[in-house]
Amino acid sequence: MRRLALTALPLFNDAILQVSFAERLPVIDLRLVCNEEDDFVNEIEPSNAGGAKIAAAVARAVGAEPTSPVSYVFAT
């Protein structure tokens, strides 16, 4: 089952990217954001460091510039 999932995952990622690019939507590729071993607790769960990187990437994507390693964006 794992082998099948690893084979299918790139197809889903490609479909998401194609639609996002066609609609001119921003994309955060977490494979590029969390690119160090310390970014993960296990294969799929981000560590505190990885979570901070993800939060910073989301903040930048919505136009907020993070000022510390961990930034929170709240809707008002």
**40 φ/ψ angles, rounded to the nearest 5 degrees:** -130, 145
Write down the domain spans for the chain: 2-61
The whole-number pLDDT of residue 62 equals 86
User: What whole-number distance in Å separates Cα of residue 58 and Cα of residue 76?
Assistant: 17
The whole-number pLDDT of residue 66 equals 62
User: What whole-number distance in Å separates Cα of residue 23 and Cα of residue 46?
Assistant: 29
The whole-number pLDDT of residue 69 equals 54
Enter the pTM of the model: 0.68
The whole-number pLDDT of residue 68 equals 52
The whole-number pLDDT of residue 19 equals 95
- Low-confidence spans in the chain with pLDDT less than 50: 71-76
